[in-house]
Structure 1
Amino acid sequence: MKKPNRPTVADLLAMKAKRQLSMLRVTTLEEAEAAEAAGIDLISVPFELIYDPQFRDAAPGRFTIPGGEYGQIGATTDEILRSAVKLRAASADAIYCAAGLPTIRRLREEYIPVCGHTGLIPSHATWTGGFKAVGKTAEMAEYVLRQVKDLEAAGAFSAEIEVVPAEVATAISERTSMLLLSMGAGAGCDAQYLFADDVLGMNRGHYPRHAKVYRNLAAEFDRIQRERTAAFAEFADDVRSGAYPEARHTVAIDEQEFAKFLDGLDRQRNLA
């Protein structure tokens, strides 16, 4: 079967303001395969997944942006560039980067598509007051707009805009040529971005305000774990009682052949 063509950066930019795109953070081959089958437009993945040789078999048509903490915990521009080149060679369509503007410019100079980040940036949250919404005052809304315009000028083609008031995010989206990927920033951006764990109901603790749970897989995994534990306990009981293994679980030997084997053992004992 012919594999679907993945959209290009140019294709995605041509869709701006025409239709909403869907985006998920997926972390396993199974989730990537499900995103492919479901027609999710964009996926974010950890580095190890993009390097998995089975990844593109699972998600051949998904525009994929690997993301990680490099560039946020001390990596130099050269190290980030080296990593980005490897990721692109491994079939990444773009690179998530929350490093400084000089690094983003450097990646763009090498024609590497960059997705930046604005609003609540977890690794930079100390600058905006911690893990809370950004842009709820006119001053902070202007701050987010400046971030977006700086990213645009540096050459990023898109940016995740996280936990920004919907009205603010919409106004900013209308004033940038970049694709804005909304994580809790309303429907006025270009894509809606959620984590697969939230969509699947895999979290057992706090869900962010913007998350929407579509399935309760945590309960299913709890059920499977109970079944797993019960099966292990039954096996242990069978071993202790002698109920396992039964004859049907072992391989038989012809009686005459076994007798020859025992004779050989007796001869060896006598020689010793």
Structure 2
Amino acid sequence: MGLYHTRPTVADIRAMKARGQKISMLYVTTLEEAAAANAAGIDMLSIEGRFFSPEMREAAGNCFVQVGLPFGPFGKLATAEDYLREAFRFMAIGADCIYCAASLDIQKALCDNAVPVIAHVGLIPSQATWTGGFKAVGKTAESARAVWDHVKRLEAIGCFGAELEVVPDRVGEVISKSTPLIMLGMGAGAGADAQYLFAEDVLGHTAGHKPRHAKTYRNFAAEFARLQQQRVAAFKEFISDVETGAYPAPQHAVPITDAEFERFAAGIKA
């Protein structure tokens, strides 16, 4: 099928919101995760630009894919031209929308060039110092109003949607119902348009802090630990075989006929 699949468009995602259909969304980093999400029927994927490739787009199949542009100095993107160049590159590969948490003027430049933009409101990891670090945002009337105002500014510049991260559920519901933007909820309650989790949390192999909103469905950490033990055991057996001469065995070697070997040996003695 190549890079092109029958997958949702921006208009389709908007229609899902309009009819109240809940959207499932996962952050993935590997071809295997993307392929599994497609096979399971996940609606949307979030993939950082550093992981996105034609192979990843192919693995994602019918999933609507958001590709993340790194913020500012972390990704060496600084100007609107930098962001546009990267956005167009990823759209050419098959991104369905672009995540961008840069300034409003940069986000507007993307929107003005018909790039479907997903912004970020609430807890914005790259800007968390301004809201007190990695904690919930919107727990006071003033803080919740700031999230609301941010969403309204995003509407005005033409954004397609926004990640709505770690805000009170009632605030998330009011905002989601009061905007045409697709609100991708991560710890924002059941009223958000999409429920967005990291695949590593769903599969139970999170490294470091596991957020309160995460839900684990499988214990891959135990399986990965078992596989690591098996790797070590296999490598030790290989070392033993090398030291004892058990490897390589005759079946691992390339044969040569006696006649050809004798000709070779005679040739090097001449």
Asked if Structure 1 and Structure 2 have the same fold, meaning a TM-score greater than 0.5 normalized by the shorter chain, the answer is yes
Three-state SS of the structure 2 residue aligned to 1:251 is: coil
Which is worse superposed, 247-256 or 25-34?
A: 247-256
**Aligned residues: CA RMSD:** 1.8
1:125 and 2:166 are equivalent in the alignment:
no
Three-state SS of the structure 2 residue aligned to 1:252 is: coil
Do 2:172 and 2:191's aligned partners in 1 also have CA atoms closer than 8 Å? yes
Instruction: Give the superposition deviation at 1:175.
Output: 1.0
Instruction: Give the superposition deviation at 1:265.
Output: 3.3
Which is worse superposed, 69-78 or 58-67?
A: 69-78
Instruction: Give the superposition deviation at 1:81.
Output: 1.3
Instruction: After superposition, give the CA deviation of every residue in 1:83-124 in whole Å (9 maximum; x if it has no partner).
Output: 111111111111101111111211111111000100000111
Three-state SS of the structure 1 residue aligned to 2:54 is: coil
Do 1:43 and 1:62's aligned partners in 2 also have CA atoms closer than 8 Å? yes
Aligned residue in 1 for 2:44: 42
Instruction: Give the superposition deviation at 1:205.
Output: 3.0
Amino acid across the alignment from 1:191: A
**CA–CA distance in structure 2, aligned partners of residues 69 and 196 of structure 1:** 19
**CA–CA distance in structure 2, aligned partners of residues 186 and 8 of structure 1:** 25
Amino acid across the alignment from 2:36: A
Aligned residue in 1 for 2:61: 60
Matched ranges for 1:98-247 at <5 A: 98-247=101-250
Which is worse superposed, 145-154 or 256-265?
A: 256-265
Matched ranges for 1:15-30 at <5 A: 15-16=16-17, 18-30=20-32
Do 1:72 and 1:123's aligned partners in 2 also have CA atoms closer than 8 Å? no
Three-state SS of the structure 1 residue aligned to 2:17 is: coil
Do 2:7 and 2:61's aligned partners in 1 also have CA atoms closer than 8 Å? yes
**CA–CA distance in structure 2, aligned partners of residues 71 and 85 of structure 1:** 17
Amino acid across the alignment from 1:16: K
Do 1:71 and 1:80's aligned partners in 2 also have CA atoms closer than 8 Å? no
**CA–CA distance in structure 2, aligned partners of residues 68 and 97 of structure 1:** 6
Instruction: Give the superposition deviation at 1:204.
Output: 4.1
**CA–CA distance in structure 1, aligned partners of residues 90 and 152 of structure 2:** 26
Three-state SS of the structure 2 residue aligned to 1:5 is: coil
Which is worse superposed, 170-179 or 41-50?
A: 41-50
**CA–CA distance in structure 1, aligned partners of residues 7 and 73 of structure 2:** 29
Q: 1:175 to 1:129 in 2, by over 3 A?
A: same
Q: 1:240 to 1:16 in 2, by over 3 A?
A: same
> Structure 1: any 5+ residue segments left out of the alignment?
none
**CA–CA distance in structure 2, aligned partners of residues 256 and 103 of structure 1:** 74
Q: 1:255 to 1:143 in 2, by over 3 A?
A: same
Q: 1:205 to 1:49 in 2, by over 3 A?
A: closer
**CA–CA distance in structure 1, aligned partners of residues 28 and 261 of structure 2:** 56
Q: 1:260 to 1:106 in 2, by over 3 A?
A: closer
**CA–CA distance in structure 2, aligned partners of residues 264 and 66 of structure 1:** 62
**CA–CA distance in structure 2, aligned partners of residues 176 and 114 of structure 1:** 15
Aligned length: 266
Do 1:70 and 1:80's aligned partners in 2 also have CA atoms closer than 8 Å? no
Instruction: Give the superposition deviation at 1:61.
Output: 1.2
Aligned residue in 2 for 1:5: 6
**CA–CA distance in structure 2, aligned partners of residues 72 and 148 of structure 1:** 24
Do 1:29 and 1:49's aligned partners in 2 also have CA atoms closer than 8 Å? no
> Structure 2: any 5+ residue segments left out of the alignment?
none
Q: Could you state the TM-score of these two structures normalised by the residue count of structure 2? A: 0.93
